[in-house]
Structure formats: structure tokens, C-alpha cells
Amino acid sequence: MKFSIVKQSVLIFSLLFLIAGCGKTDYKPAAINEKTDKCDVCHMAVKDDGFASEIILENEKTLKFDDIGCMYKWKSENKDEKIGNSFIKDYQTKKWLEVEKASFVYDKSIKTPMAYNVIAFGDKKAAQDFIDKNSGELLTADDLGSHSWERNKAMMEEMKKKMNMNMNH
């Protein structure tokens, strides 16, 4: 009797492994729940808007970020974690994009939740249109790796100006 319980549980466990083993290569972005999701870096609530981003680890743990800058901060702090795939919302359509395939615009006038001032577009042309209409710098996913992620440049510059003014006095 006891033996059969052991057998059964072994069977169930191996079944679970089997289920989990399937479809591992296909990472899908999880939907944002505005009420309960928070950024895994800065702890702010993640809104289901054009700024949210997400990392799916190889073990299928999902990390959510309210700003793509937080995602890159996490990446730089957790270099030994194995990332399955990462996603970001399209600034205009609010649909999930794979980070590798998206185009990005950086401009200090763009307001983002954590003031990293970078937004994403699925379509390169849309990104270029945005730059033509406003201003900014077109970046690819590769560029983001070397992007400085300086937060809140506007304020920093203002502070510098003030400091210069103080010095001039």
C-alpha cells in the first residue's frame, strides 16, 4: 500500500516535469496587472501603458519593469541570470514587442515613469516619424546595451547650470 503511494507520486512528478519540459523555447510575455504588478527594480506600480517592459528568465520566472531603464539596471546588476527573452510595450500601439526587434527613441524631453527617457516602437518608420515630429535619437536594441541610462538629464543639466551660476557669483 505504502509502496504504491511512492510509485504514484514518482509518476506524478515525472509527468509534471514532462509537461514543464515542453515548449520551453517559446517565451510569451505575461499581461500586466495594474493592481498587483510592481517594478522589480524601483518598486513602483507597473501601468499597462507604453512604457512597461518584461524579462522572462529561462526558468520562466517573469520580471516586470515600469520603465525600460529599470530593466537595463536589473540586467547590469544580475549578469549571471539566464534571460529567456525580454519584451517591451510599443509606445503607440501598447502591444508587446521583443526588445531585440524593436527600435528605440531617446530624448530627454520624453517623460517616462522613471525618467530614463527611452521609448520603443515596433516599426522603425514610426520611430523616425516620432523623431521628425518631436526630437530624439534613434537607437537599436544593440545601442541600448551601451546606452548610458543616465536618469533625468534635464534636472542634472539644470543643477549644473545652477552650480555654475553660484560659482560665478
Partner 1 sequence: MINLWFSEWKTLTRQRSFYTFLFLWVIVFSLLFLLEKNNMGISGFTNISGTIVNILLYLLPLFMMMNGSFSIANEMENGQWRLLCTYPVSIAAYIGGKFLGIFTAQTLMFTFSFGVSMLIGLITGVPLSLAWLVRIYWFSLLLIFAFLMMGIFLGTFVKTKWQAFTLSVAAWFFGIMIWPTALIAILGLMPYPLIEPLMKLAMFINPAEFFRVFLMIRWDSGAVFGQSYDSVVHLFESGTGIILLILYLLAYFLLLFTFAIISLKRRRMT
Partner 2 sequence: MKNSIKILLVLVFVSLFFGKEAWAQNSLQTQINAAPVGGVVKLKAGTYRERIVINKPVVVEAEGVIIHNCSSKPAITITGKRVRLRDIKLVDCLSGKNSAAISISGSGHQLHNISVTSEKIALKLKNVQKSKFENIRIHGQHKENGIDLWQSEQNLFQQCEIKNVQDGIYLENSNHNTLIKNSIEHSRYGVHVMFSDHITLKQNTSTKNVTGAMIMGVKYAEIKENQLIDNQQNVNAQGLLLYDVHHSNIRDNTISHNRLGMYIEDSSSNTIIQNKVEANFIGTQMKKMTKTIMEENAFIANVNVIQATSSRENQIQHNYWDGALTLDTDGNHKSNIAFKADPYFLTLTSETPPYQLFFQHPGLVLLQKMLKSPDEMLVTDQEPLMTSDWQKNVQVKSEKRSVLLLSLLLITGSLFLLYIGRKKI
Residue 20 lies near partner 1 (rule: CB under 8 A): yes
Stretch 43-72: interaction string toward partner 1, x if CB under 8 A:
--------------x-xxx-----------
Q: For partner 1, which stretch binds (CB under 8 A), given 30-38, 40-48, 65-73, 108-116?
A: 30-38
* Contact yes or no for 154/108 (Cβ under 8 A): yes
Q: From the list partner 1, partner 2, none, which binds 60 (C-beta under 5 to 8 Å, kind-based)?
A: partner 1
Q: How far apart are CA 122 and CA 70, in angstroms?
A: 20
Residue 43 lies near partner 2 (rule: CB under 8 A): yes
Cell 543616465 sits on residue: 150
Residue 17 lies near partner 1 (rule: CB under 8 A): yes
One of 30, 42, 83, 141 touching partner 2 (CB under 8 A): 42
C-alpha cell at 143: 545601442
CB closer to partner 1, 64 vs 110: 64
Parallel, antiparallel or unpaired: strands 83-89 and 103-106: unpaired
Q: How far apart are CA 112 and CA 137, in angstroms?
A: 15
Q: For partner 2, which stretch binds (CB under 8 A), given 10-18, 35-43, 127-135, 141-149?
A: 35-43
The letter for the amino acid at 123 is D
Q: How far apart are CA 16 and CA 81, in angstroms?
A: 24
CA 42 to chain centre: 12
CB of 90 to partner 2, least distance (A): 18
* Contact yes or no for 13/21 (Cβ under 8 A): no
Contacting residues toward partner 2, per CB under 8 A: 35-36, 38, 42-45, 115, 151-152, 154-155, 158
